[in-house]
Amino acid sequence: MQRKNHQPARTAALLRRLLLAGIVLCIGINAWMTLRCADRVHYDAAAVPPSGVGLVLGTSRMVGGRENAHFRVRIDAAAELYRAGKVRHFLLSGDNQRPDYNEPRDMKDALVEMGVPADIMTLDPLGLRTLDSVIRARRKFGVADCVIISDDFHLPRAIWLADRHGIKATAYVGRRLPWSVSGKTRVREWLARLGAVVDEVSGSEPPIEGGPVPLPPAALGR
């Protein structure tokens, strides 16, 4: 009598368990990151504790021939903090790995258009990821405390990384984008939070070439 091969069924069951464990882990990490920093994410500029530095996390200015809504939310929020007297200097951190793509320059240009002086901005062209932006802010530019400016769904990961790398951070969101505009990006962020934990466990590091270049002493509270 021929014996049945149960191995395919066992393999399928194992894969189902692994998938379920992955989903539970992802949900758990997302909930934990969100809840632990909820009291540090502000939606009213008047409630933001004053800080020397506003760390603006970059994104593309144009998408499909139109201005990116995520870019506009971050720029408007930064300008609001400046007008409210909450920050003295901006560190604009983003991707500039191609001559035709420059997130920090685009942020600077947009802020100047809104009346923010160019001489209170420092550009970091190697903020390729949130992890890179945070670590470089601390090690390259000497930032020990700051207000992080980004989308609401992005900030739990950014604050968690700031905590991990020695930056005392609060955060500001000028307004939330509706799901109809930001849904895909929000879903990607759930996976990015899991990836951030993996990066921390593996010790992933950004390039810190050329040594420290501290921000102006007034920005650093010196």
Q: Are 141 and 122 in contact (CB under 8 A)?
A: yes
**pLDDT score at 209:** 73
Q: With respect to residue 3, please indicate whether it lies within any of the assigned structural domains.
A: no
Number of domains in the chain: 1
Q: Is residue 208 part of a domain?
A: no
* pLDDT by 10s per residue, the chain, length 222: 455 666 777 777 778 888 777 777 778 888 999 999 999 999 999 999 999 999 999 999 999 999 999 999 999 999 999 999 999 999 999 999 888 899 999 999 999 999 999 999 999 999 999 999 999 999 999 999 999 999 999 999 999 999 999 999 999 998 999 999 999 999 999 999 999 999 998 998 887 777 888 898 878 776
Residue 37 is part of a domain; what is its CATH number?
A: 3.40.50.620
The reply to whether 179 falls in a domain is yes
Residue 213 lies in a domain: no
Residue 212 lies in a domain: no
Q: Where are the alpha helices (H) located in the chain, listed in sequence order?
A: 7-36, 69-83, 103-113, 130-139, 155-164, 179-202
The answer to the question of residue 221 being in a domain is no
Q: What angle do CA 103, 31, 20 make, to 5 degrees?
A: 105
Q: Which domain holds residue 118?
A: 10-202
Q: Give me 208's structure tokens.
A: 């810190």
Q: Does residue 216 fall inside a structural domain?
A: no
How far apart are alpha carbons 126 and 136 in whole angstroms?
8
78 in a domain, yes or no?
yes
Tokens (6 digits) for 45: 């500029």
Burial class (CB in 10 A: 0-12, 13-18, 19+), 37: buried
Tracing tokens 């590091």 back to the chain, one arrives at: 205
